[in-house]
Each structure stands twice: as C-alpha cells, then as structure tokens.
Structure 1
C-alpha cells in the first residue's frame, strides 16, 4: 500500500469532496450515504454514543475493489447533518494486514468498545482470522488493543468473522458467523465480563442444519420478549419468490435458551426483496428504538454499477426502525427523514383513476406515498425513472397478491425482475424513496421492503400510475421533493 495516499491525505480529499459539493455525475446520491471515492460495503459498529449516532462502515478509499478494507466513520445527531467521513481504522498490524473486516460496537464505561475481524492471508492465499478489540474514547480517538480471540474453534474453517457485541442480563456477548469443515453455515456465541477475555459458549442450535455454506454478519436482538436473529446466509437455492439474489439477508424470530443454546424459532424470512441489500446491522438508540442499516449492494456483483468509472461504488440504506407484529418484522424509515421533505408536489385523495401522470417531478429525489383500493381493477402499476425509452415498474396483482419489480428496461446497470407474495390487506400501500441512483420501497407499512440501485439517464425522471381491468381508488397519494443531507466539520 506504499504507493497509495496517506490516510491524512485520504481524509483531506474526502473533506474537499463534500465542502466543494463535487458533482461527479447525475447518480451522486442526495440523502443515502455513499463514499466520496472508493468502495463502501458493510455497515459496522452502529451505535449511539455521547449523544450521537456513530456509523462506521467498510471502506476501500483507494480503488473500487474489495481490497484494503478500512473502517470509515460518520456521525450524526439527526440523520440530516453528518460529520465528514474519515478513515479511523486501517489494516496496519500483523493481525489485520489484509483487511479490517466487519465488526460492531457497544458503549461501556464511558467508551465505545469495538470488536472487528482482522483478515490475514499468506502468499498462497491461506486465510487466518483474528477477532480484534479497539476502543473509541469520548473524543473520538480509536486505539487498537489487539486480538482477543486468536484461535478458531475445532471443526470450523477460517471463514470465521463479523462479531456482533450485545449485552443481555448483565453479561456481554458476541455472536459470530462461521463455517463448519463440511462447509455449512453456522453461528457461535462468546461471552465476557471485561471485553478482553472471551469464552466460547458454543454453537447456537437452529432448525437449519443445511442452509448455505456460510452465515455472515449475524446479530441478535431481544425485542418484545422475542429474540430476533438476523444473518446473511450464502449459498441458498433460488426460487421464484425467494432467494432471488446471489446471497440473502434475513431473520428468524423465536426464543434463545442461553444455557442450552437451543433457539426455537419460526421460518427464515428475507429482510429485503429488492436487487441490492446485504450485511445489515442493528443497534438500539437512547429512545429505545431498534435501528437497522444495510449495505445497498451485493458481493460479486460490482460490475453492474457504472459509478465505478468515477472511482465511487455502492452506498448504505436509509436507517430503518424495526418492530415485531404477529411474529413478522416490520421496517419503517426513521421519522427523522420527514425533515428531508422540501415541498409537497402532489396531494390527491378519494379519486378514481385508470391512469395518472406526473407533470412537476424535476429530479429523482423524492418521496412517493400511495394508498390505493382495488375497486374493480385487477392490477395497479407504478412506473418511474421514465424517459429515454427506459423505466422501472412495480406491479401488484390484487387477486394473487403478487408484487413484481422490473428494471429490465433500464439502459445502464443491473437488470432483471424480483417477485414476492404480499400478505393481502384491504388497502395496498407504497412508500418509496427515490434518490438519484437508488430507491427503497416500503410496502404495507414496511411488512415488505425492496431496495435497489438503478442508473437513469439524464431526463429519466417521470412517474406514472396505471390500472388494469378497471379503475382504482386513490385513497391517498402524496409526493414531496427531498433535500439532501449535509456534511460538516
């Protein structure tokens, strides 16, 4: 790495990028976090500390490749105003020389405790994995302590990573993704009283014994007397209505016995049914909210993203508040994002239509809210990013309760369709956030979510709403244009 810029130069270049509001291209995001340059992937160390939200993230600040993984950091108090992104942990030691991989954070005794995976490879590509402790003080300075778990338990491969720290009934734990020697994904549990000495409790027993070859980025949250286990299994077989991406991220809801490590749970459910979502991490803030942020990207699919020619690739999702209802996880964008609303462009209620076309959408930075009743229609279709003979469509079949997201008609970037079966409700609801080259769609109050990157050509900005088989009743439709977030000293 001696030919690369120093970390001080990297951070100064990042400040210049945001201070000068450099417009690399029409795909530069307005309110989703993306790096000023280089590659971003997993969110790490998400936490609320000293009155601010700390958002660490995997960052290669040099190239758009999955190499040279550092930890970057931005902080915010309101998800509108952010500090300048800076590199805060670098792969400079023997135990992380080939990458500071994913990890987590937890406030403890006035400091923020961090544990991440240090990746080490020899000349032949053989991997070693170390779980590394670092400490962030109340001034934001981070000091590496070194490995606290150096040995991989017997029966598991060196694919042993992504520790997620949490506290339960006065004891500190971390859960970590693993792979057995017969190439099955698993998750292990460690405990500690001082963050420096960690004891292996064992493997958490689930009903899924043959469920992919690796479980990445695990997390465990106790919500409403339920245990929510979030993880990203790799190697699941794709089907028409599930596992449609190369890798998945999903959850189990149940109850974990910390003595036996038996986890009684329901079926695996994907967190996001769009094209681009992986490696989410969650944390609890001072208001008691459980908040989740994901990587809006997928491993091994970088070639689909044309921003790489501007030396910038990938982004994070918006922050989502989690809740459980009837053993189903709901995700809603944080209420703070309401402060992005600049002007109400469309406000319609109680109107029957079979076609509606926008006439005042000037850029792809808006929030679209729709509540629609089928009346006598068989299908409703939303088209957006329209122009230059391209568009994206979201279709909903009222009778079959099937949603189809189709970006096949886009000229640039990834293509294809994604399908899901939606739990039928009396009213079909859409809340969509469009942001230059990304969108997040929350269906039926966040029971299902679809997040994706798209790369519209200049002028592809329209919105249309169509029905088939008859009219639909628009109970409510609102569109706001949205301001961008701000980066300050």
Structure 2
C-alpha cells in the first residue's frame, strides 16, 4: 500500500474530530469510569508509563470498525486517573513493516524521552513477518514517531507468533521480554538484552511450565522488592472445574529470576482475574507502585457483546495496584479511585437475618463484610427486578467455592465462573459497578473478577443478600460514584 493510501485510510485529524464529537459518551451501555471509545474496537493496554508529570495510557484500537483489523494505538493521559485528556489516535499502520497492524508493546523513559516498542504486523500472503520496532512519543504532535526496526524476525526454533515486547531492568541490565511460540507449538517468554546499543537474543525464560498452552501473549516482567513476577496470557489451556474457565487466560508466576542463567524459580501459575471479561493485562512501576490495566473483553467471542451492534466494543479495566506477599499477588483499586465518590458513605448494617436488601445507584462502590455465623451458603445478587434479570455471587462454605453466575441475564454473555476462595468466618467483597462494567475484589484483594452485564432495561439494580441460615451480621458502606472527566487536548 502506498503512503498516500495509508494517510487516507488513517486520517488522524478526521478520526480525532470524530472522537471529540463522540464525547461525552451517550449510550446507556457506555461506561463512565472505564476507559472506552465512542466507536471502534478497544483491546490490549499498551505503553503504560509515567512521563513528564503524567500517566500515559496507550491501547490497541481499531478506529475503522469492530473487527480485529486495522490495529492502531489510541492514547490518553492523566495526572490522577480521574481527569483525562480526550483520547486521540497516536500510532497507525503507515509502511510495509506494519501495514497489517501496529500490535502490542510497552513503554519506558530513556534520555528524557518516552520510548515505545511494539510489534509490526506484516503479512506476505499467508506468511506472517513479525518485526519489533522502537518509537518515540511526540507530545507536541500527539503522535508516536516510528524509529528503527530493532528485531527483524523471530529467532530460530520459533514460529512467527512472536510479539508484544515489553522492556524491564534487572540487576542493572536492560531486557525486552516477548511472547512466543516454539515450532512445537508451545508457549514461551523470550528475552533480548541490550548490549553495546543493540538488542541481542538472550534466550527463553526457563520456567517449570514446558507444556502450558500453545502461545504466551502480552508478557510483563515486574522486578518487585518482594520478588520477581512474570505476567502473561497463555492460550490453549483446557478448562477445569475451578480454573482456566475463560476461552483464554491471563495470570502470573512469582519467585526469583536469575538474569545470568535465565532460570526462574517460581511457584504455581495463578490467574489474575476470575471474571468473564479480562485478558492481555499490562503493568508498570512508578514510585513504588505496580499499576495494572487489563482489557475488559475476550478475543474470539465478540458475538457475546451487544455493543458491537452499536458500533463499539470493549473497555479497559480500572487501574489496580498489585502487591506481592508470600508468592501471591493481591489486588486493590488505586487510591485515586476514591475521588470518584459523590459525598459521604452511606452505612448499612443488619444482624441475625437470612435476607437483606439495599438500594444502590447506577454507578456504585460497595464495601461489604458478612459474618457468616451458622450460614453455609450465601447469595449476593444484583437484581434488575423490573427486567426480571440478575447477577449472582454465591459462596459455599463447605467447599470454599465462590460462583459468579450470569444465567439470569437476557442479553450478552452468560455462563458461570467458579473458583476457590479461602474464607473463615467473614466474607468480604469490594464491588465497583459502572453502567455495564463490574469489578469485584474478594477477601481484601486475594482474588478479583471483571465482567460486563447488559440489562435489557435502563434501571438500577437492587443489592440483595440471602442465606440458607441466619447470618451473624451484615455491614458495609455504599457510595454513589461519578465518572471520568474528559478535557480537550
């Protein structure tokens, strides 16, 4: 494709103008404190970084439709995760290297510049030619300037499924980690190290997962004070009763990585999120915090999302902070999310009861603690009573299993997710409900779940708790929430 054809197809001025016209988001299914676009398909968070006094959030975006084609990068920036500059097109296919899409990658600050690295998607007939390119953010123009191709092709022994570079520092050395597939169709994480100004193949990260899916996507390596963490998204895991229940998974291993031998001594692979709609997360470090965004959606299941018929698909999650303790990650919404609260908390409490109801708002935050007492089974419902629809969380004490059930909804994805959750006498949930996006943190962040709910009616659900026997006590706090505030660039 000639340069003129790229410029016509990806007209930044026209696309940015259409975005500005689309804000504020108006459809009743559009969320207010989850990052999404008025049109097109959003997926992987990319290039997460802190630069020049702002957080920069890039993300995969097809501004031309709701298919996984024409992959570009959108961009927003914020100082506090509540006030944002309007999204804009930042990176798009423009030459023969990335003519079939600008795929995922990471961001980092170097020499007082925000540098980005991404995968160029180029197809020659049925053949994929993956190349990794370095680039630079140009804030005065609001674009990503493409620089050199730093890795021209996949290494020997791997297929062309070789992508999603992300940079990290370890022991004073500079690495790129990429998701890869061996010629035997086994997922891997591959490292390149920067030496004498060039990126040189170092080898695979050596794990205890030699046969763990056919591809590992979107790796992030986090060298934390408490240990090293590798986030990645393996494809091809077979579903089990209490894990691997999504079409594709996202999770992590934690332990100690040796930069010389490339050996990673780690514990078990744990999923990052137990919900229906979470994939391809990316995290970055800033001032002692590990901050993560995920893609709220699931590839290859687009028919489950009714907004496709309205011209847009998917969101990013809220930002969450990761904390490593005893080899496990714990999750919490960023402290900045408290600024979304409108007014003081409304407290609620009840004692020795089998049922309790609480009115909430369309956009709500709920902190809930249930002292289980004699109860062996407890249900927590978001009940859209006027529509005859509901979402249910159920906890079984005997089996220590939490179930999330969407069978009660008439529109969009349904199904059930079950996972183990260690609870003694007190069940804790911290719930964020946007218009359609729901994120829940269980047991002080031991687990999290992200998913969409599309009610057929524009109504506010009731919050209902019920149990098979009397609960000792129910107590909590409820806040009505506002939304992100968007400002012109």
Which TM-score band applies after superposition, normalised by the shorter structure?
A: over 0.9
Distance change (3 Å), C-alpha of 1:173 and 1:248:
same
Cα distance in 2 for partners of 1:403, 1:452 equals: 15
Cα distance in 1 for partners of 2:466, 2:437 equals: 25
Give the conservation status (yes or no) of the 8 Å contact 2:98–2:120. yes
Cα distance in 2 for partners of 1:362, 1:151 equals: 52
Cα distance in 2 for partners of 1:275, 1:130 equals: 32
Cα distance in 2 for partners of 1:75, 1:351 equals: 46
Cα distance in 2 for partners of 1:479, 1:167 equals: 41
Match among 30, 33, 40 for residue 31 of structure 1? 33
Match among 12, 15, 18 for residue 13 of structure 1? 18
> Are 1:229 and 2:233 matched, yes or no?
no
Give the conservation status (yes or no) of the 8 Å contact 2:176–2:193. yes
Residue 468 of structure 2 is matched in structure 1 by: 469
Give the conservation status (yes or no) of the 8 Å contact 2:82–2:485. yes
Residue 266 of structure 1 is matched in structure 2 by: 267
Cα distance in 2 for partners of 1:467, 1:88 equals: 49
Shift of 1:345: 6.3
Distance change (3 Å), C-alpha of 1:64 and 1:305:
same
Residue 378 of structure 1 is matched in structure 2 by: 376
1:317-337 Cα deviation digits (max 9, x unpaired): 010100012211001000100
Give the conservation status (yes or no) of the 8 Å contact 1:54–1:74. yes
| Equivalences for residues 283-322 of structure 1 within 5 A | 283-285=284-286, 287-322=287-322
Cα distance in 2 for partners of 1:233, 1:269 equals: 11
Residue 256 of structure 1 is matched in structure 2 by: 257
Q: Secondary structure at the match of 1:219?
A: strand
Cα distance in 1 for partners of 2:93, 2:311 equals: 21
Q: Secondary structure at the match of 1:159?
A: strand
Cα distance in 2 for partners of 1:336, 1:156 equals: 42
Residue 351 of structure 1 is matched in structure 2 by: 351
Shift of 1:352: 3.1
Shift of 1:460: 4.1
1:147-173 Cα deviation digits (max 9, x unpaired): 110021111000000001112232221
Residue 186 of structure 1 is matched in structure 2 by: 188
> Are 1:404 and 2:403 matched, yes or no?
yes
Give the conservation status (yes or no) of the 8 Å contact 1:41–1:297. yes
Match among 76, 92, 114 for residue 78 of structure 2? 76
- Paired residues in the alignment total 481
1:276-303 Cα deviation digits (max 9, x unpaired): 1000000012x31110100001110111
Q: Secondary structure at the match of 2:256?
A: strand
1:397-425 Cα deviation digits (max 9, x unpaired): 12321100000110100010000110224
Shift of 1:309: 1.4
Distance change (3 Å), C-alpha of 1:76 and 1:62:
same
Give the conservation status (yes or no) of the 8 Å contact 1:354–1:468. yes
Cα distance in 1 for partners of 2:284, 2:368 equals: 30
User: What TM-score does the superposition give when structure 1 sets the normalisation length?
Assistant: 0.95
Cα distance in 1 for partners of 2:185, 2:427 equals: 42
Cα distance in 2 for partners of 1:440, 1:245 equals: 16
Shift of 1:349: 3.9
Unaligned runs of 5+ in 1: none
Q: Secondary structure at the match of 1:273?
A: coil
Give the conservation status (yes or no) of the 8 Å contact 1:385–1:456. no
Q: Secondary structure at the match of 1:157?
A: strand
Shift of 1:100: 0.2
| Equivalences for residues 335-350 of structure 1 within 5 A | 335-344=335-344, 346-349=346-349
Cα distance in 2 for partners of 1:384, 1:398 equals: 21
> Are 1:325 and 2:330 matched, yes or no?
no
Shift of 1:60: 0.3
Give the conservation status (yes or no) of the 8 Å contact 1:377–1:467. no
Residue 110 of structure 2 is matched in structure 1 by: 108
Cα distance in 1 for partners of 2:263, 2:325 equals: 23
Cα distance in 1 for partners of 2:157, 2:144 equals: 34
Give the conservation status (yes or no) of the 8 Å contact 1:355–1:464. no
Shift of 1:344: 4.5
Q: Secondary structure at the match of 2:346?
A: strand
Shift of 1:362: 4.3
Give the conservation status (yes or no) of the 8 Å contact 1:330–1:447. yes
Cα distance in 1 for partners of 2:57, 2:150 equals: 23
